[in-house]
Amino acid sequence: MLKKVLFTTLLASIAFALAACGGNGELSTRLTDRLSMDFEYEGKTFFEDGVEAVDMVSCEDGDTAVFIIDGVEERVRFLGIDTPEASAEWEPWGYQATEFACERLNNAQTIVVEADSVTGFRDTYGRLLAWIWYDGRLLNLELMELAYATRGTLINHRGEYVKYHEEIMDAYFNVRDSGIRVFETEETDPLWDYSPTPQDVTIQTLIENAEDYRFAHINVEGVVTRMVGAHAYIQDGDFGVYVFIGYSETERLQVGNRIRVENARFINDLLRRNGWHISDVRTGTGVTNDITVLESDVSVEPTVITIDDITPMHYGRLVTIENLTFESYEARRGETIATFTDGEGNTLTVSVPHIVVEDHRFDFTTLTAGDTVTITGVLSDHIDGFRLVLTSQDDVVEE
The CATH number that applies at residue 98 is 2.40.50.90
Kindly state whether residues 158 and 48 are assigned to the same domain.
yes
Q: How high is the pLDDT of residue 6?
A: 34
Kindly state whether residues 203 and 136 are assigned to the same domain.
no
Q: Does 127 qualify as catalytic in the annotation?
A: yes
Instruction: Say which of 52, 85, 114, 142 is annotated catalytic.
Output: 85
Q: Does 160 qualify as catalytic in the annotation?
A: no
Kindly state whether residues 326 and 265 are assigned to the same domain.
no
* Position 273 confidence tier, pLDDT thresholds 50, 70, 90: confident
pTM above 0.75, yes or no: yes
pLDDT at 125 exceeding the cut of 50: yes
Which of 157, 183, 209 is the last residue in one of the domains? 183
> Average pLDDT, whole number, for the chain?
92
* AA identity, residue 192: W
Q: Does 85 qualify as catalytic in the annotation?
A: yes
What is the total count of domains within the chain? 3
| Residue of higher predicted confidence among 333 and 217 | 217
Identify the weakest region by mean pLDDT among 10-19, 83-92, 169-178: 10-19
* Position 250 confidence tier, pLDDT thresholds 50, 70, 90: very high
How far CA 69 is from CA of 5, 107, 109, 136, 367, in Å, comes to: 56, 19, 17, 18, 36
Kindly state whether residues 206 and 338 are assigned to the same domain.
no
Per the CB < 8 A criterion, the answer to whether 390 and 374 are in contact is: no
Kindly state whether residues 162 and 248 are assigned to the same domain.
no
Which of 241, 270, 295 is the last residue in one of the domains? 295
| Cβ-based neighbours of 122, under 8 Å, separated by 6 or more | 128, 129
Which of 239, 273, 295 is the last residue in one of the domains? 295
Kindly state whether residues 173 and 208 are assigned to the same domain.
no
Instruction: Say which of 30, 75, 127, 151 is annotated catalytic.
Output: 127
The size of the chain, in residues, is 399
Instruction: Say which of 52, 77, 145, 181 is annotated catalytic.
Output: 77
What is the DSSP secondary structure assignment for residue 382, as one 8-state letter? -
- Domain carrying residue 244: 199-295
How far CA 355 is from CA of 13, 30, 40, 246, 366, in Å, comes to: 53, 43, 39, 12, 21
Q: How high is the pLDDT of residue 333?
A: 82
Q: Which helix (H) or strand (E) holds 232?
A: strand 231-236
User: Does the residue 8 lie in any domain?
Assistant: no
Per the CB < 8 A criterion, the answer to whether 160 and 118 are in contact is: yes
Kindly state whether residues 285 and 314 are assigned to the same domain.
no
Q: How high is the pLDDT of residue 26?
A: 76
